[in-house]
Chain A
Amino acid sequence: MNRKNSVFDGLLNDNTVLSSFMVISPIIICGDTLRNAVALIYAFSAITFLSVMFGSFVPQKLPYALKIIIYAVISSLVYIPVRLAAEQFFPDIIPRIGIYFMLLAVNSLITVQTEAKFYRMKRGRMILSLIFYIVGFDTVMLITASVRELLAYGTVYDRIVDADILISGLGKPFGGFIFLGLFCGVYRKIRFMANHLKGAN
């Protein structure tokens, strides 16, 4: 099996956040509680999946610059119903997320990876690969938010846990940046060791 072309790459080997350091700002700024994380996961998953799917019907013969503009227009249109639904599901969270909710509409998975990766695949494979890329982002968001919420506020999904010492700095953007940086470091170390082991075998 060619590892580079695996549909599971988006989850582990080529994780959008940990490997490419893309779409990090919502995680750093808003990924400090699980409630925020769930809202962002919903928004990211819905906008990205629908935008990439609709975008795949854009003729590939069009000039690159024009296609990128069309993708952005499509994702902006997808953003509208997703936002309206989000206001019903997460009425308290959306104002807290602020501009980062809107920025998800032009995330790099839609604007960059579509042309570079997804639209070069067959449709069925593309859908599978896209789902794993989205799940990869969602997993990182969930892990980051749960750890930060636990350590910074001593809660898990707003339920107070018996945390003896709190590091409130982790709830701040700089804390998120540091945590994500460490997470990336650990991820890369594990990936390197796994590849090394595979090579040895």
Chain B
Amino acid sequence: MQKIKKSERFVWIDIMLTLLAIEVMQYFYYGIRVVVLSGVCAFVSFVAEIVSLNLVNRDFTADDLTCISDALIISLMLPAVIDFRIVAIACVFAVIVVKNIFGGRDNMIFSPSAAAYIFMLVSWKNQVLMFTEPHVRTGISEKAENLVSSASHVFNTSGRMNYSDFEILMGNMRGAGGAVSILLLIVSAVILILRRDISFGAFLGTIFGTAFLAYCIPVCRSKYDSVKYMLVSNMILFAAVYIISDKRIAPRKNYYAFFYGFFIAMFSYILLLKTEKENIIIIVSVFFTPVSLAFRNFEKNIEFSETEGV
């Protein structure tokens, strides 16, 4: 048991390190406001976690620090110029409503960050989906001007991506800070998979599902471009690493996790084609958590029947 707890803490440290690396990259593009935004998220989540645990008469332990990684994930899905009060409300929502009301970190039903993102999308759509151009630095108390739609929105509506491969890799395109840092996300994915911090099956299922459908039902003239742009837009890669492959939610065995990821990719791709809504994979991932729970129950039943058989 102690070993499991220890490994959980190492998972958290690894995830935090990769998230902090993306934060540094975002600081390079958007300035100090990104850092303050993440700080606000982390602080509010931390306080909300302590208060909500206190209300249910539980002690705050090192394992509860996962609220900070969830907070950083939330901040990386948002534009740097978003109102701090909105993210504060979203973080409180993620910790109290999504996480602790359902039993806390041992009984996770939804990804707190994904659910908080949907909450923000429903309540403050314009603020969540409007961004500044990269390298436009906004002061902490300044109000941003000349906001534009993300590269994903342009791609969904026109089928075009007006960025070079190098710009895409470096994250030098319009969109949510964390979601567009493609090179860093790839490196993070490799590190987290090799260190077994995320579910490899779910990650592979999501990427394979998206690529497969983008190849079979291309959104551009070229199938190669369709696959390439689909993987780097609409937070696909970010969601595949930090939300769908979250070991707290994804099925434990890679075989089932693969299909879990594959189904999410398939449905989000179909919905994307139908609705042209950006980042729809986050919404689908939340709606697919019952599938993950079903897979987990299925795994338990198989394990139980195997031990009974022995």
Chain A contact residues, CB within 8 Å of chain B: 164-170, 172, 174-175, 178, 181-182, 185, 189
Dominant SS at the A interface? helix
Collect the chain B residues with CB atoms within 8 Å of residue A170's CB: 123
Instruction: Give, as a whole number of angstroms, the nearest-CB distance from B135 to chain A.
Output: 29
Whole-angstrom distance between the Cβ of A151 and the nearest chain B Cβ: 10
Q: State whether A167 touches B123 (Cβ < 8 A).
A: yes
Contact A169 B119 (CB under 8 A): yes
A182 touching B123 in the complex, CB below 8 Å, given contacts A167-B89, A189-B55: no
- Complexed CA–CA distance, A189 and B96 (Å): 15
CB distance from A170 to the nearest CB of B (A): 8
CB neighbours of B123 from chain A (8 A): 166-170
Binding site for A on B (CB under 8 A): 55, 83, 85-86, 89, 96-97, 101, 119, 122-124
Instruction: List, in ascending order, chain A residues with CB within 8 A of B96's CB.
Output: 182
Q: A181-B101, A185-B101 are in contact. Are A168 and B124 (CB under 8 A)?
A: yes
Q: Which residue of B lies closest to A168 (CB)?
A: B123
Rounded to whole Å, the gap between the CB of B108 and the closest CB of chain A is: 17
Determine if A182 and B97 form an interchain contact, defined as CB atoms under 8 angstroms apart: yes
A98 to chain B, nearest CB (A): 21
Judge whether A168 and B83 touch: CB under 8 Å: no
B97 A172 Cβ-Cβ under 8 A: no
Q: Using Cβ atoms and an 8 Å threshold, which residues of chain B touch A181?
A: 97, 101
Q: How far is the CB of B96 from chain A (nearest CB, A)?
A: 8
Please list the 10 inter-chain residue pairs (A to B) with the smallest Cβ-Cβ separation, ordered nearest first: A169-B123, A169-B122, A168-B123, A167-B123, A165-B85, A169-B119, A178-B97, A172-B122, A167-B89, A181-B101
Complex Cα spacing A181 to B96, Å: 12
Tell me the minimal C-beta distance from A156 to chain B in angstroms. 19
Q: In the complex, A175→B121 CA distance in Å?
A: 13
CB distance from B176 to the nearest CB of A (A): 19
Q: Closest CB-CB distance, B78 to chain A, in whole Å?
A: 15
Are A165 and B86 closer than 8 Å at their CB atoms? yes
Complex formed: what's the CA distance from A175 to B97 in Å? 11
Q: A199 CB to closest chain B CB, in angstroms?
A: 17
Residues of A within 8 A of B97 (CB): 178, 181-182
Minimum C-beta distance from A192 to chain B (A): 11
B122 contacts across to A, CB distance below 8 A: 168-169, 172, 174-175
What CA separation (Å) do A53 and B122 show in the bound complex? 44
Enumerate 13 A-B pairs (CB-CB under 8 Å) in ascending A order.
A164-B85, A165-B83, A165-B89, A166-B123, A167-B123, A168-B123, A168-B124, A169-B119, A169-B123, A172-B122, A178-B97, A181-B97, A182-B97
Residue with the greatest number of chain A CB neighbours at <10 A, chosen from B55, B119, B122, B123: B123
Contact partners of A172 in chain B: CB under 8 A? 122
Rounded to whole Å, the gap between the CB of A112 and the closest CB of chain B is 27
Residue numbers in A under 8 Å from B124 (CB-CB): 168
Q: Separation in Å of the A139 CB from the closest CB of chain B? A: 23
B36 to chain A, nearest CB (A): 18
Residues of A within 8 A of B85 (CB): 164-165
Which chain B residue lies CB-closest to A181?
A: B101
| A167-B123, A172-B122 known, 15 other contacts, Cβ within 8 Å | A164-B85, A165-B89, A166-B123, A167-B89, A168-B122, A168-B123, A168-B124, A169-B123, A170-B123, A175-B122, A181-B97, A182-B96, A182-B101, A185-B101, A189-B55
